[in-house]
Chains A and B, each alone.
Chain A
Amino acid sequence: MTSMAAAEFIAGGEVLARCRRRSELTQAQLASRLGTTASAVSRWERGHVEATFDTVQRAAATCGVSLAAVLREPAVDQHDVSLLESTLALTATERLRRLVGHVRFVEAARDLVHARCPP
């Protein structure tokens, strides 16, 4: 899981896109509320034009989301997407079996570490 919570690493357009997705608005709907066009929103989100902080603040308010919360949120990277795709290929039972295998591995590893270095 990527931990990209620091706001300085996030482009304005990405933050704007996260606000829009959180509120499940289309680009056209957000554009309408901001008094602009869907293509302008698309250009911000794709980074073709840098969205100003003021624009992003207005977008967050329009979307009814907390800008601070969005800025704290880690991003989804390609590794996460690959993991998601492999999980979606499994049945519910297979997902649970994999989870059990993971948890038991973690517990065994933790026990090993504690045995060698007691807390």
Chain B
Amino acid sequence: MPAPAFSPIELLRLLQEHGVRFVVIGGLAATIHGSPYPTYDVDITPQATRENLARLSNALRALEARIRVQGITGGIAFEHDADSLLAMRTVNLVTRLGDLDLALEPAGVGGFAAWDAGATDLEVEGVGVRLASLDDVIRSKEAADREKDRATLPILRELRRRMSR
């Protein structure tokens, strides 16, 4: 696979074209809300039904998705279907449209239904995006408590203060 070009809008478009139900979470959701800090992947939480995960699996094939492993350019090939994606719960992928992280139950908020409850609909260049609330993004980063999460939390809280004015 040639070096992937980070194309989040095209990646989201492809997921949408395959009928995948998901919420955009994490750093990309923060960017769309207005965070000035960059992110280098697309984070989503898909609806964890067998039907939806089968659609996701088809989309991953179209994306030529491979398991992302540090030090291995292009990642590692893997077989997947709805059942294996359900069992994985969390998987970090490299695709032809950039890195994609899937989490069935991201930290701090819960599964798809919990994220979806607070999410809003947005359209970006003709792509319908179900966008996680900033509150849920912050809650999730607080729960994950990784170094990179702690680094972005202050500006996300400042963003929330400005949005609530």
Contacts and interface: CB of A to CB of B under 8 A. Distances in A.
Interface in A1-38: 1, 3, 5, 21-22
A60 B25 CA distance: 28
B32 A74 contact: no
B9 interface: yes
B154 A73 contact: yes
A99 B34 contact: no
B interface, size bucket? 20 to 34
Nearest to B35: A87
Interface residues of A, number: 30
A22 to B, nearest CB: 7
Interface string B133-165: 000000000000100001101110111011000
Which label, helix, strand, loop or mixed, suits the secondary structure of the A interface?
helix
B31 interface: yes
A118 B110 CA distance: 42
B72 interface: no
A84 B162 contact: yes
Interface in A61-89: 69, 72-76, 80-81, 83-84, 86-88
Contacts of A3: 151
Given A88-B162, A99-B8, 17 more contacts: A1-B37, A73-B150, A80-B36, A80-B158, A81-B158, A83-B155, A84-B155, A88-B159, A92-B32, A95-B31, A99-B28, A99-B39, A100-B6, A103-B98, A104-B6, A107-B3, A107-B6
B124 interface: yes
Contact of A86 (B6, B36, B39, B150): B36
B153 A96 contact: no
Interface of A: 1, 3, 5, 21-22, 69, 72-76, 80-81, 83-84, 86-88, 90, 92-93, 95-96, 99-100, 102-104, 106-107
Contacts of B122: 92
A22 B157 contact: yes
B36 A87 contact: yes
A96 B150 contact: no
A76 B158 contact: yes
B125 interface: yes
